[in-house]
A and B are shown apart, each in its own frame.
Chain A
Amino acid sequence: MNSELAEHSQFKDAETGQFNPKSLIIWPLSQLFRFLEWPMKRIQNLLGLGTMPYIFLLPNLCFFGLFVVLPLFVNFAFSLTGGTNLYLDERAFTGTEQYAFLLDCGNYADPLSCREDRFWKGLLNTAIFITLQLTFLVLFSLITALVLNKKIQARGFFRSVYFFPVLLSPVVVALIWKWILLRDGILNAWLVELSFDKILFFVSPAWAMFWAIFISIWAHMGFYTLIILAGLQAIPPDLYEAAEMDGTKQERIFWRITLPLLWPNLLVVIVLALIKGVQTFDEVFVLTGGGPGTATQFIVQYIYNTGFTNQIQNFGLAAAASVILGVVLFGLTMLQLAATRWKDNG
């Protein structure tokens, strides 16, 4: 077969004259590009060279526009309407009524003083979750990456072990942990074995929040560890060698070399983890259902309940809550970017 193909000049290596297997991929691509050459030249002549980058970006922009930007606008339009109809043109225009309803509060620190108390409880729970989850997630990911960057035994194995939970679906993660934490789950069986009383983890608000945070960190830490590890490996080793020759202490090396050079990666981790944290829904929904009471009901679950689980589905209110959430998220991300620029500029 190879000798037959090698008879054709397009499959031969230019230098050796032997059959080149890579040409099996390269040749069809080159034919495709040759086919596209003529129309692309025509477009370039017609629109000018400066426009060509936009032409190349156009297919991606179309998808982005259709599946990201357009739904954003549709969602915003929904937030200005009321009633239960699904199609926008059949819905009653209500202006900012949905926003006014959500923001109608006696005291913003006390959700019970708000007209839509569950929205504020959801925001408060999300804020508590994000603060704790983000702090410990970044901290544990950094520590793990620092350890995995050392020359320890079975380093490859441990890197895989920390990454495995990332491959699991959030629903699977939540179900596994639910089985562990139930009244008759493995953890309670161990506690009884050790002569302790059973703990009803899903009845205590504090325990439920603790496990929601713990499991979220367990499930996502591997991904962020990987990003930090890549950053650590990109730090030039000669900086460490020079520091060691100067007799610099390890703590000082960490604070003066590792952390400043790792900062761009840490920023990526913080921004990604923050966005992911605010969007948390499936794991916690399967694990605690938002309970006990409303202790782990986050803002995304509020939006889901308002838009879908109620008998009278309030799409307008759900859309307004989504817009507010988006604005908060955008603000936080901008704040972080500004903080980084300020730091970079000294």
Chain B
Amino acid sequence: MLKKLRRILTAGSVAMAVWATPLFAETQLRMTWYNDGIEGEVMRSLLDRFEAQNSDIRVTLDVVPYKSIMESLPVQLAAGDGPDIARVTDLGGLSKYYMDLRPHLSDAGYWEKSFGPFLKWLRQPGDTSAISGFMTQLTVTGPYVNKTLFEQAEVPMPGKGATWDDWAKASKQVADKLEIPIPMAWDRSGHRVSGPAIAMGAKMFDGSGEPALIDEGLKRMTQRLYDWHQQGIMAKELWGSVSGSAYLGANEDFTNAQVVMYMSGSWQIPQFANNIGDAFDWWAVPAPCGPAACTGMPGGAALVAMKDTKHPEEVAKLMDWLAQEENLAEFYGRTLFIPGHLGLAEKGVDFDTEDPRAKHALETFAGAVPGISQTAFDLQGYVYNRVMFNALISRLNEAIMGELTLDQAYERMEQDIQQQLAVKKRGS
């Protein structure tokens, strides 16, 4: 009896050891991710292929809400408890947590050649060499219009070189004729306001490169936004219905044909292609002009490696594999994202869509890149740009809702920026 029991135990132990050995040999990596559209599915399929080629590495894709990326991830990273890799949009703000992949890359030159101008967005001030990740998408802010509504209202769409005033007037005419509740909607985001403000002449920085948000250019744009809200061209419901710097998009209202013109950006293309389809003609239009430029804001999301990882070699191996041209071509093509890879941007990506509206939008936004103002690039590259964006949107909102005058709002914006930068200078 005892002998039999001993045999069973021995056989069990051997079986357990055989089953468990690969588990212990595997390296588990965690990637924190958020979705705008279908990119999570596309990334998972690429990771499955990577795992098939590298049986000793397993990658868990943790899909979280965008809010978690903005609010929880920084705390996790500060506590040294972050993921190995993450998809982030606060590119420079989190740069102190990024790992430098360069020592682990076999061909760092490929990275520099393919992602050159974007690598510096991921670096800490003063760093000129770190390679921490690549752009999963390059974004450009700009407006969409509901072309069908313009046609139904028989209002001509403003053409190339049209100003924001032209578009505001035309959108209001369409909305009035067809009883559409919202003539024009902008994402509630300082980033979205900054492009048009630069078009109006905002400089954003002083001569020494320090933030200088308030100038005549910015005032020209914010005065318009204030007036449009009071005149009913923009709905107070969107910007006014929350406080502080909270982000709110009007994508659902636009999808439901409740908005004539919607200021957002290129990342909405997959969602509109999917959700609107051919219900109406949604059309991306070039960034309206101001006296200084016709520009949107560049931006995007990057996949970055984190320095607290316990598996730097494996992380670098995965990042290098994902960054290869053929893999990124598939990723950008299937997700309908504007490529953040210079080689692919030059060659062109075979976007996986037959939708003429999506194709037109991709062409419009990709075509807008050369026209982006240098000030917009500088602002995007500034590590603490969100401090400026948040001050801008929250105080402007308080003025729109009648809690502050515009002059008080400008004063508060400057104070907010100075106060937060002082906290940073105190020690980080």
A residues neighboring B (CB under 8 Å): 82-86, 90-92, 94, 112, 115, 117, 183, 200, 202-203, 205, 288-297, 301, 305, 308-314, 316-317
Contacts of B398 in A (CB 8 A): 293-294
Does B387 lie within 8 Å of A293, measured CB to CB? Answer: no
What is the bound-complex CA distance between A85 and B426, given in angstroms? 10
Does A86 lie within 8 Å of B397, measured CB to CB? Answer: no
CB distance from A344 to the nearest CB of B (A): 43
Does B387 lie within 8 Å of A311, measured CB to CB? Answer: yes
Does A297 lie within 8 Å of B244, measured CB to CB? Answer: yes
Does B403 lie within 8 Å of A83, measured CB to CB? Answer: no
Does B242 lie within 8 Å of A288, measured CB to CB? Answer: yes
Shortest Cβ distance from B240 into A: residue = A292
Which 10 A-B residue pairings sit nearest by Cβ, starting from the closest? A289-B242, A293-B401, A290-B243, A83-B427, A311-B386, A86-B78, A202-B241, A83-B426, A292-B240, A82-B426
Does A288 lie within 8 Å of B241, measured CB to CB? Answer: yes
Q: Which of B71, B236, B401, B403 contacts A309 (CB 8 A)?
A: B71
Does B401 lie within 8 Å of A292, measured CB to CB? Answer: yes
Task: Find residues 386-428 in chain B having any chain A CB closer than 8 Å to their own CB.
Answer: 386-387, 390, 397-398, 400-404, 408, 412, 415, 420-421, 423-424, 426-428
Does A310 lie within 8 Å of B387, measured CB to CB? Answer: yes
Q: Which of A85, A92, A297, A308 contacts B243 (CB 8 A)?
A: A297
CB distance from A159 to the nearest CB of B (A): 37
What is the bound-complex CA distance between A115 and B424, given in angstroms? 19
Interface residues on B, range: 35 or more
Does B237 lie within 8 Å of A203, measured CB to CB? Answer: yes
Q: Which of B93, B408, B420, B427 contacts A91 (CB 8 A)?
A: B427
Does A312 lie within 8 Å of B401, measured CB to CB? Answer: no
What is the bound-complex CA distance between A294 and B400, given in angstroms? 11
Does B90 lie within 8 Å of A290, measured CB to CB? Answer: no
Does A312 lie within 8 Å of B424, measured CB to CB? Answer: yes
Q: Which of B243, B420, B421 contacts A291 (CB 8 A)?
A: B243
What is the bound-complex CA distance between A183 and B238, given in angstroms? 11
Contacts of A310 in B (CB 8 A): 245, 387, 390, 420
What is the bound-complex CA distance between A316 and B426, given in angstroms? 11
Does B404 lie within 8 Å of A112, measured CB to CB? Answer: yes
Does B241 lie within 8 Å of A289, measured CB to CB? Answer: yes
What is the bound-complex CA distance between A227 and B100, given in angstroms? 60
Q: Which of A85, A86, A314 contacts B420 (CB 8 A)?
A: A314
Q: Can you list 11 pairs linking A and B with CB atoms under 8 Å apart?
A: A91-B427, A112-B404, A183-B181, A200-B237, A203-B236, A203-B237, A289-B241, A308-B75, A309-B246, A310-B390, A311-B420
CB distance from A95 to the nearest CB of B (A): 13
**CB within 8 Å for A293 and B397 given contacts A86-B78, A112-B408:** yes
Total number of A-B contacts with CB less than 8 angstroms? 116
Does B387 lie within 8 Å of A203, measured CB to CB? Answer: no
Does B79 belong to the interface (CB within 8 Å)? yes
Chain B, residues 164-183, CB within 8 Å of chain A (1/0): the string is: 00000000000000000100
Shortest Cβ distance from A201 into B: residue = B241
**CB within 8 Å for A203 and B241 given contacts A86-B79, A311-B386:** yes
Shortest Cβ distance from A117 into B: residue = B412
CB distance from B184 to the nearest CB of A (A): 16
Contacts of A91 in B (CB 8 A): 427
Q: Which of A94, A202, A310, A313 is the most central at the interface, judged by chain B CB atoms within 10 Å of its CB? A: A310
Task: Find residues 219-261 in chain B having any chain A CB closer than 8 Å to their own CB.
Answer: 236-237, 240-246, 248
Does B236 lie within 8 Å of A292, measured CB to CB? Answer: yes
Contacts of B408 in A (CB 8 A): 112
Contacts of A292 in B (CB 8 A): 236, 240-243, 401
Contacts of B401 in A (CB 8 A): 205, 291-293, 295
Contacts of B415 in A (CB 8 A): 115
Given contacts A289-B242, A311-B420, 15 further A-B contacts (CB under 8 A): A83-B426, A84-B423, A84-B424, A84-B428, A86-B78, A200-B237, A290-B242, A290-B243, A293-B402, A294-B403, A297-B243, A309-B71, A310-B245, A310-B390, A312-B423
Shortest Cβ distance from A311 into B: residue = B386
CB distance from B189 to the nearest CB of A (A): 13
Contacts of B40 in A (CB 8 A): none
Does A312 lie within 8 Å of B241, measured CB to CB? Answer: no
CB distance from B78 to the nearest CB of A (A): 4
What is the bound-complex CA distance between A10 and B423, given in angstroms? 69
Contacts of B421 in A (CB 8 A): 312
Does B74 belong to the interface (CB within 8 Å)? yes
Q: Which of A86, A203, A314 contacts B423 (CB 8 A)?
A: A314
Shortest Cβ distance from B424 into A: residue = A312
Does B427 lie within 8 Å of A84, measured CB to CB? Answer: yes
Shortest Cβ distance from B421 into A: residue = A312
Shortest Cβ distance from B422 into A: residue = A82
Does B337 belong to the interface (CB within 8 Å)? no
Shortest Cβ distance from A308 into B: residue = B71
Contacts of A90 in B (CB 8 A): 427
What is the bound-complex CA distance between A337 and B384, given in angstroms? 48
What is the bound-complex CA distance between A205 and B400, given in angstroms? 13
Contacts of B390 in A (CB 8 A): 310-311
